[in-house]
Amino acid sequence: MLKFEVLTTDPTSHARRATLTLNHGVVQTPIFMPVGTYGTVKGVTPASLEAMGAQIILGNTFHLWMRPGQDVMKSFGGLHAFERWNKPILTDSGGFQVWSLGEMRKITEQGVHFASPVNGDKLFMSPEVSMQIQTGLNSDIVMQLDECTPYETKGHITTEAEARQSMEMSLRWAQRSRAEFERLENPNALFGIVQGGMFEHLRQESLDALVAMDFPGYAVGGVSVGEPKDEMRRIMAHTPHRLPAHKPRYLMGVGTPEDLVEGVACGVDMFDCVMPTRNARNGTLFTRFGDLKIRNAKHKTDHRPLDETCTCYACAGSSGVSWADGGREGFSRAYLHHLDRCGEMLSPMLTSIHNLHYYLNLMKEVRAALDAGTFGEFRQRFHAERARGV
């Protein structure tokens, strides 16, 4: 079901190096998990994901429930066979997507009533329904259904009373999620989700109650929901390291490369975010030396790759061949600029490969630094290089 082994810890922070064994394989942590909303990481093949070092990816319970639906998924025996990915998968509960529907949904103690964004059908999501869908998906890590506490509620910053009400309902939903998960005899692992808004004492109450339920792993939710960066960082510094040391810790929906490195320092083992692929589709590329806007005119005649230290297919190609012009087999900034200007579909494919490779390689370097006992030095060098600029 789940085995988590801490291999080493960093004396300068809460960072730790570990292995997470799941039903479809072993994951080396800290790890970034690419997001495959509809059963695909947008524009990237499973073979490319494997080549760039992806160990575990996400699927979206809500969207896969809408399309293709439970019957199709069950006919394939789950999401792994459907999308042809033979490594671990984590599925979210659908809570964030239901929350994001806004006026299209009504949240009650029983669950959430909402209109399907696909065809308008009236639907109902509850902790029990979420567990049933995720059991059909056969994901290695299942998330409890929670209510994602927003930073703002009806035009004002969410109050302590509103955050408490939401957090306490999420705790009741955690109990119901666990009961249904066990009734279904799901052979995978169920994670609880810490809520509490921007209030540290509510976060602690949520954490304590979830730990008492003894989930195999824990997530920190309700961040990256519109709050200022310093507020997110405050919660990130407060909550993860207070979770049980012998269980995996997952920070949901975060974030930038800087967020990941600081999250590791705060004790986080697992991250996911749509930022690498979404930013790639919009022409923003992450590099060792800062972010690069490929749509800027200055790249029109630039023969350099996106990042001369990067070994991804977009930057270095696959065979290491050098061309007569002295360039590597990888693609130039000028070419990627041209593809973007022309709206060619190869453009987001190559930029998504690059950004995902950057994130996955960053976590690989973090793991190597933790293994070597040099995470503190790595952290300083990382920030200095990112601040240098491209």
Binding-site residue positions for substrate:
92-96, 146, 195, 222
What Å distances lie between residue 38 and 53, 75, 280, CA to CA?
A: 21, 17, 18
**Which strand (E) or helix (H) includes residue 112?**
strand 112-115
What amino acid is encoded at 12 in this protein?
T
Distances (CA, A) of 337 to 255, 296, 304: 25, 8, 12
Classify residue 228 by its DSSP letter. -
Residue 167: closest CA among 191, 190, 142, 148: 148
First to last CA, the chain: 44
Nearest to residue 219, comparing CAs of 290, 298, 272, 283?
272
The first and second tokens of residue 236, run together, are: 């990130």
**Do residues 140 and 56 lie in contact, with contact meaning Cβ atoms separated by under 8 Å?**
yes
Count how many Cα atoms sit within 13 Å of the Cα of residue 366 in the half-sphere of its side chain: 33
Distances (CA, A) of 256 to 21, 79, 109, 358: 26, 28, 34, 11
Report, as residue numbers or ranges, the catalytic residues.
Answer: 92, 272
Residues in binding site: 92-96, 146, 195, 222, 310, 312, 315, 354
HSE-CB at 191 with a 13 A cutoff on CA atoms is: 28
CA distance 230 to 216: 30
Buried (b) or exposed (e) across 279-296, using 16+ Cβ within 10 A? bbbebbbbbbeeebebee
CB neighbours of 120 closer than 8 A, spacing ≥ 6?
Answer: none
Residues facing residue 25 across a β-bridge? 22
Q: What is the token pair recorded at 311?
A: 């070994």
